[in-house]
Amino acid sequence: MNEDKKRHTVWLTPDAWSQVESSYTKDNCTTKNEYIEKAIRFYTGYLNTQNAVGYLPRVLADVLEGKLGALGTRNGKLLFKLVV
């Protein structure tokens, strides 16, 4: 992602913030800011497409890439433990 970031104030309901706090690690995000930025990009992409069919494959690819990356990391650690 672009590292040229600026600070913005956003007001959220307590319910929305609790959803962010409980879900950002499930999406393999390291920070809550990263999670919120991904959510904004997802929703904006969804709104800008007239037909979700064109947008859905990109989203599925991103999700699969995250899951497979986590699986690869886990397998790598297990293989290292097996060798050592």
- Please state whether the predicted TM-score (pTM) of the whole model is above 0.85: no
CA pseudo-torsion sign 15, 3, 26, 21: negative
Query: CA geometry: angle at 64 spanning 73 and 38, to 5°?
Result: 95
* pLDDT over 70 at 80, yes or no: yes
- Distance (Å, whole) CA 69 – CA 49: 28
pLDDT digits (tens, 9 = 90+) for 17-63: 999 999 998 888 889 999 999 889 888 877 877 666 666 677 777 78
Crossing angle of the two packed helices 32-48 and 52-83, in degrees rounded to 10? 150
Report the candidate in 43, 38, 19, 18 with the shortest Cα–Cα distance to residue 28: 38
